[in-house]
């Protein structure tokens, strides 16, 4: 069950009281340990919890960090009847969910999402995993959280870049949903965010994603709609981690959406005016994508390693129109480079 609330203490306290477990583990990163745990520590059940804290940042979402978490589980007596509470953004919920889902063949976990990106992207849907060999989420399993709490009172700890990163996934969800959702999301003022309005949009976004996940839990069919922007976006994100200026996930997805909507335009006649709306949002809030044409071959190679691919074909989710989803689409190398040209020149 998913809760969107500004009273995480009350909800998590009740869940912990009602969920049988022999040992309680809490996973945080260095940021959430500092900014979020002082609030949650007042929950009575937390008094005897085993705390595991890892370094913050997506570059720590690795198998090596997972091993450290497994070691903590083992030395502190975790069993198949234990319970893990992940407190943080997408890195923590992906990594913690993976660690809990694989230790002793799996025990239950709860996600407390403290970031906007984590709330709309990683916390719900049951995808868990780690990055491997420079590739995003290369190793993982499908295992839904027992409960998800979107801790909106923690969003005040986010800077504007991280708020915008999460908002990019909300834009993507609107694109795969309806013109009504697209219109509402486009009119939201990210410079002066109204948190009550954002909470309503967030609940709608989670509902869009959850409806798709319920239809296709293990991504054999329509769940691939959620990958809009991610084939190009993950390549941009992975490439950025080889430099001194890593790109936040949401920014990479927004850039990926523009490139993939351009592919949708040239292959499926997607309305170009919608692409230009998204370009204007990019320029206002995100800045241009700093991809060089000299990096195209590297980006193309990274796309070839995407998990969604079959055989030698790069797999895209494209749109004929807002809400009109076409999964399992392919594009030639020249078409992909043309899309990257459009993104770079926008």
Q: Which residues pair with 111 in a beta bridge?
A: 86, 148
Q: 91-100, 147-156, 186-195: which has the highest mean pLDDT? A: 91-100
Q: Which residues pair with 135 in a beta bridge?
A: 132
Q: What is the pLDDT of residue 269?
A: 97
Task: Kindly state the average pLDDT of the residues 75-83.
Answer: 96
Tokens of 14: 């009740």
Residues recorded for the chain: 346
Backbone angles phi, psi at 21, to 5 degrees: -165, 150
Q: Is the pLDDT of residue 21 over 90?
A: yes
Closest alpha carbon to 102 in 132, 77, 137, 67: 67
Which range has the worst mean pLDDT, 33-42, 103-112, 326-335? 33-42
Task: Kindly state the average pLDDT of the residues 188-217.
Answer: 90
Write the CB contacts of 97 (distance below 8 Å, at least 6 apart in sequence).
Answer: 86, 109, 111, 126, 128, 143, 145
Q: Is the pLDDT of residue 124 over 80?
A: no
Q: What is the pLDDT of residue 53?
A: 96
Quick one: 296 exposed, middle or buried, by C-beta within 10 A (0-12, 13-18, 19+)? middle
Q: Which residues pair with 318 in a beta bridge?
A: 326
- pLDDT confidence of 158, banded at 50, 70, 90? confident
Mean pLDDT of the chain, nearest integer = 92
Tokens of 204: 């709608």
Eight-state DSSP code of residue 283: I
Separation CA 298–CA 316 (nearest Å) = 18
Letter string b/e over residues 39-72, b meaning 16 or more CB atoms within 10 A of that residue's CB:
ebeebebbeebbbbbbebebebbbbebbeebbeb
Q: What is the pLDDT of residue 286?
A: 96
Q: Which residue has the tokens 């990055």?
A: 131
Separation CA 346–CA 335 (nearest Å) = 17
Task: Kindly state the average pLDDT of the residues 105-112.
Answer: 96
- pLDDT confidence of 134, banded at 50, 70, 90? confident
Tokens of 283: 């320029």
What is the per-residue pLDDT across 252-267, written as a single tens digit (0 to 9) for each? 999 999 999 999 999 9
Higher pLDDT, 42 or 103: 103
SS3 at position 57: coil
Backbone angles phi, psi at 218, to 5 degrees: -110, 20
What stretch of H or E contains 88?
Answer: strand 83-88
What is the per-residue pLDDT across 296-310, written as a single tens digit (0 to 9) for each? 999 999 998 876 777
Q: What is the pLDDT of residue 182?
A: 97
SS3 at position 190: coil
Closest alpha carbon to 185 in 171, 196, 203: 171
Task: Kindly state the average pLDDT of the residues 130-137.
Answer: 86
Letter string b/e over residues 265-293, b meaning 16 or more CB atoms within 10 A of that residue's CB:
bebeebeeebbeebbebbeebbeebebee
The percentage of residues in the chain with a pLDDT greater than 90, rounded to a whole number, is 73
What stretch of H or E contains 327?
Answer: strand 324-329
Task: Kindly state the average pLDDT of the residues 304-329.
Answer: 87
- pLDDT confidence of 156, banded at 50, 70, 90? confident
- pLDDT confidence of 59, banded at 50, 70, 90? confident
Q: Is the pLDDT of residue 235 over 90?
A: yes
H helices of the chain, in order, are: 8-18, 30-35, 37-40, 63-75, 90-102, 116-117, 160-175, 179-186, 195-215, 230-240, 249-268, 272-281, 296-304, 333-345
Task: Kindly state the average pLDDT of the residues 171-200.
Answer: 93
* 158-to-35, 53, 163 alpha-carbon distances in Å: 10, 19, 6
Q: Is the pLDDT of residue 157 over 90?
A: no
Q: What is the pLDDT of residue 311?
A: 62
Question: Quick one: CA torsion of 177, 339, 296, 240, rounded to 10 degrees?
Answer: -30
Q: What is the pLDDT of residue 256?
A: 98
What is the per-residue pLDDT across 80-97, written as a single tens digit (0 to 9) for each? 999 999 999 989 999 999
Task: List the domains of the chain with CATH numbers.
Answer: 2-157 (3.40.50.1970), 160-345 (1.20.1090.10)
CA 292 vs. chain centroid, Å, equals 25
Q: Is the pLDDT of residue 16 over 90?
A: yes
């Amino acid at each position: 069950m998913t809760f969107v609330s500004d009273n995480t203490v009350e909800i998590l306290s009740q869940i912990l009281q009602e969920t049988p477990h022999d040992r309680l583990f809490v996973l945080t990163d260095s940021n959430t340990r500092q900014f979020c745990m002082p609030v949650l520590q007042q929950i009575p059940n937390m008094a005897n919890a085993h705390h595991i804290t890892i370094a913050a940042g997506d570059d720590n979402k690795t198998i090596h960090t997972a091993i450290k978490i497994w070691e903590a589980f083992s030395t502190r007596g975790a069993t198949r009847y234990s319970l893990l509470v992940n407190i943080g953004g997408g890195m923590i919920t992906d990594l913690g969910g993976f660690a809990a889902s694989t230790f002793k063949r799996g025990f239950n976990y709860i996600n407390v999402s403290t970031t906007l990106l984590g709330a709309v992207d990683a916390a719900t849907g049951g995808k868990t995993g780690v990055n491997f060999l420079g590739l995003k989420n290369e190793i993982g399993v499908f295992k839904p959280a027992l409960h998800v709490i979107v801790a909106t009172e923690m969003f005040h700890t986010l800077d504007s870049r991280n708020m915008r990163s999460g908002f990019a996934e909300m834009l993507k969800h609107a694109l795969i949903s309806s013109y009504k959702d697209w219109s509402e999301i486009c009119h939201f003022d990210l410079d002066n965010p109204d948190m009550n309005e954002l909470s309503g949009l967030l609940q709608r976004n989670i509902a869009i994603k959850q409806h798709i996940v319920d239809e296709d839990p293990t991504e054999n069919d329509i769940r691939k709609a959620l990958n809009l922007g991610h084939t190009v976006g993950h390549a941009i994100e992975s490439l950025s981690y080889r430099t001194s200026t890593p790109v936040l996930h949401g920014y990479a997805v927004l850039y990926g959406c523009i490139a993939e909507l351009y592919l949708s335009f040239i292959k499926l006649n997607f309305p170009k005016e919608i692409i230009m709306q998204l370009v204007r949002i990019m320029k206002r809030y995100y800045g241009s994508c700093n991809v060089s044409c000299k990096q195209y071959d590297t980006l193309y190679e990274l796309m070839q390693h995407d998990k969604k691919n079959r055989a030698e074909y790069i797999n895209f989710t494209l749109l004929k129109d807002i809400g009109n989803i076409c999964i399992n689409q392919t594009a030639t190398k020249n078409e992909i480079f043309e899309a990257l040209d459009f993104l770079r020149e926008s």
